[in-house]
Structure 1
């Protein structure tokens, strides 16, 4: 039985129990002078909770714990990893064999369980299952045992979940009474579910930080923090490269990240803010209903498309334009703007950020009370004076917060930078030259079949934690600005 089918059966049991609970509640004889504490719908929900929630909780725990336990059993039954190669690779080969054995017919599977790998491989290949040539005979027995444990665990899980669901339904039905506080208990269950749902973001953040923190500590145990935070050379040599471990200077990457984000904000902020002012204060309903969706279409375009646009169109255009201008002025048609440069990446990223600035700013400006506009216009101020002296000061905290959130989005961008600014970790103030960012180097360091046992791969976690700290500080500052300067209106 598949997991979706098991969940469907549990839900059906819960619905049937809920119907019976509601029917039983309606048949209850209410003594004179009393009344039902809860309505039949609450009684049904109460029994449904008993029939479904414990069973699904056990199912979730089983789905999480069973693979871990079976994986440890498989690892314990393997020979010395030093004799058979990497443990992870051996487990993947065993899993492939086990999956291949599962698709064989029952009459073939029993015989295939005892075959050596040399005879099993062509049998599985005829079924469309490819097995690596590095597999060994001992893996077949382990794969058979792994399949047996998985089947046993699945059967036990199904029986326990169904039994728990039926037992919960019976127990819930036995609790139905005139004065049963079913409404209070159902609301308690709903409140608990809401708390769990609201905790997902917090737990996810803790998980992200924890996953980076431990690897970052391992990295700093190998590389001094001073050489990372204050180093000006980024040259991480992988194993076998000349020059030992290499250099892991953060400053060129951080400078490129902030420089490209700054150029992008120079493009996005004026255009996006002016567009928001126009849509909120000047445009009529017809124009606004057309312009705003057209601006927000930019937010739905994948960033890789912006990267192609920068690589194929914007970069060559700026390069050819600079060559023409240089030729007119000096007679030398050499280009002083590279095809991949800070300017190219900043321009295209700024275009991508325009809908973020305009949409957020428009919502903030339109939330300013209309009485402020009417009062300013009634005192004789023009529309532009009203916007400059009344609307924008009132909306300034929200606009600043929106700009800081947009800056966080710019700092975390990757694909546009890869295609438009290159991967060279240069430290320069010339916007016409190529630079790179922290996110690009995180991708570079984690590309390929790598293990997290060297500074060259562990540095990606240090870069990620640094980037997380920067964006967190920006968000905290935005929250501080909003709370400190927010205007309260009735």
Structure 2
């Protein structure tokens, strides 16, 4: 017999739900056997009774657990579970009373399902706002120490001994700390751009080949092998970038008379692009396959070659999905950390030369939130400021992509009228 209060509560709710189901079904069968017309089937009345029993109880216990664990409310667990069981009993009583001929049990169940689906959709929205609020609250503390304009336009990232200020031992080095984020975002955008220059052409061409030219046997084998790249841990890609690609970049640059550091932006950009290829190829392949075959046949019937059909008909029709896949790849590249740490280094360096050492925003966020730094220090709080700006950049990219997708859809719709 279980002895944990939570397990006892779940068993009790399950038992009450089963009893409510059986009793409601038996009652509905008796009403139907008497010759009375009913708006729903007996099983639908039974499921409504079970939902009205278990649903409110689980909701009350979930809200109580949220208040207890996250907000620190002092609610005794046995009292919370006992109150939830009382709610379950009340719900069972109400559900059994509603087993009447004029009650639309099916419509009531559909309303409950819509409510559950709406709640699931709201979870992501509330989570996004929660993340944003938690970042803003800490970022504002940083901006009270260092100006927002200096942070956005500054070209030097040199925290120095800024952590001493939080300990009350500020000196000239701490007061001279500079938090200019331009080098970090420049490195982030450069490495992301290199990755996209690799991933988008290769991924899109691979998708076109697999959807339009590859035999069925080749497609069946090639697509799963290509998607394996998405499951490789990023730290493995980091080893590959640091041990293989970076020395190769140095050798090629040396043969061309260029100086390249073993920690450079080109190597992680190339490897990150290889890692992102499956995101673009798989999604683009699905979108291209979704284009109606009648459009291809109509284009060929008008005298276009197969290549012209792909270029002028298939790809424009699939362009909204291709843009979405590319945006997903950009977001993936902006958030990558391990490959950059292992192959590009951690030194903020404002340069346009991809052969030099650079770093990204996410790497500095990890560096600021790890170690023995005081949480109240400017260097630690700068991680939240960087996260806030990166969130704004990602949101802007999403908005731009939505506008582009809408324009492509409108253009495609007009051209087909």
TM-score, scaled to structure 2 = 0.90
Note the alpha carbon deviations across 1:81-115, whole angstroms, 9 max, x for none: xxxxxxxxxxxxxxxxxxxxxxxxxxxxxxxxxxx
Task: Say whether 1:51 aligns with 2:53.
Answer: yes
Q: Is the CA contact (8 Å cut-off) linking 1:21 and 1:176 kept in structure 2?
A: yes
Task: Say whether 1:337 aligns with 2:260.
Answer: yes
The structure with the largest alpha-carbon Rg is 1
1:314 corresponds in structure 2 to 245
Over aligned residue pairs, what C-alpha RMSD do you find? 2.3
2:344 corresponds in structure 1 to 421
Note the alpha carbon deviations across 1:64-93, whole angstroms, 9 max, x for none: 223467x577xxxxxxxxxxxxxxxxxxxx
Change (3 A) 1:189 1:400: closer
Note the alpha carbon deviations across 1:313-364, whole angstroms, 9 max, x for none: 22233334444x26xx7xxxxx822221111111100101111121122222
**Cα distance in structure 1, aligned partners of 2:69 and 2:222:** 52
**Cα distance in structure 2, aligned partners of 1:446 and 1:68:** 22
Change (3 A) 1:320 1:4: farther
1:220 corresponds in structure 2 to 143
**Cα distance in structure 1, aligned partners of 2:83 and 2:73:** 23
SS at match of 1:425: coil
Q: Is the CA contact (8 Å cut-off) linking 2:163 and 2:374 kept in structure 1?
A: no
1:269 corresponds in structure 2 to 200
2:39 corresponds in structure 1 to 37
**Cα distance in structure 1, aligned partners of 2:94 and 2:307:** 70
Alpha-carbon offset, residue 257 of structure 1: 0.4
Structure 1 unaligned spans of 5+: 74-149, 330-334
**Cα distance in structure 2, aligned partners of 1:398 and 1:171:** 48
Alpha-carbon offset, residue 449 of structure 1: 4.8
SS at match of 1:28: helix
Q: Is the CA contact (8 Å cut-off) linking 2:349 and 2:358 kept in structure 1?
A: yes
Out of 181, 190, 213, which is 2:104 matched to?
Answer: 181
Out of 347, 366, 387, which is 2:310 matched to?
Answer: 387
1:239 corresponds in structure 2 to 163
Change (3 A) 1:187 1:351: same
Alpha-carbon offset, residue 217 of structure 1: 1.7
Change (3 A) 1:45 1:342: same
**Cα distance in structure 1, aligned partners of 2:79 and 2:378:** 44
Change (3 A) 1:182 1:450: farther
* Matched ranges for 1:459-470 at <5 A: 459-470=382-393
**Cα distance in structure 2, aligned partners of 1:286 and 1:216:** 54
**Cα distance in structure 2, aligned partners of 1:220 and 1:307:** 34
Q: Is the CA contact (8 Å cut-off) linking 1:30 and 1:36 kept in structure 2?
A: no
Alpha-carbon offset, residue 212 of structure 1: 0.8
Note the alpha carbon deviations across 1:294-320, whole angstroms, 9 max, x for none: 111111112111111112222233334
Note the alpha carbon deviations across 1:258-315, whole angstroms, 9 max, x for none: 0001111111122111111111111111111111111111111121111111122222
Number of equivalences:
402
2:167 corresponds in structure 1 to none
Change (3 A) 1:229 1:184: same
Task: Say whether 1:206 aligns with 2:209.
Answer: no
Out of 249, 255, 258, which is 2:186 matched to?
Answer: 255
47-56 or 425-434: bigger deviation: 47-56
Out of 2, 22, 25, which is 1:19 matched to?
Answer: 22
Q: Is the CA contact (8 Å cut-off) linking 1:46 and 1:186 kept in structure 2?
A: yes
Q: Is the CA contact (8 Å cut-off) linking 2:268 and 2:340 kept in structure 1?
A: yes
10-19 or 56-65: bigger deviation: 56-65
Task: Say whether 1:282 aligns with 2:178.
Answer: no
Alpha-carbon offset, residue 3 of structure 1: 1.9
1:407 corresponds in structure 2 to 330
Change (3 A) 1:173 1:454: same
TM-score, scaled to structure 1 = 0.77
**Cα distance in structure 1, aligned partners of 2:64 and 2:321:** 46
Alpha-carbon offset, residue 375 of structure 1: 2.3
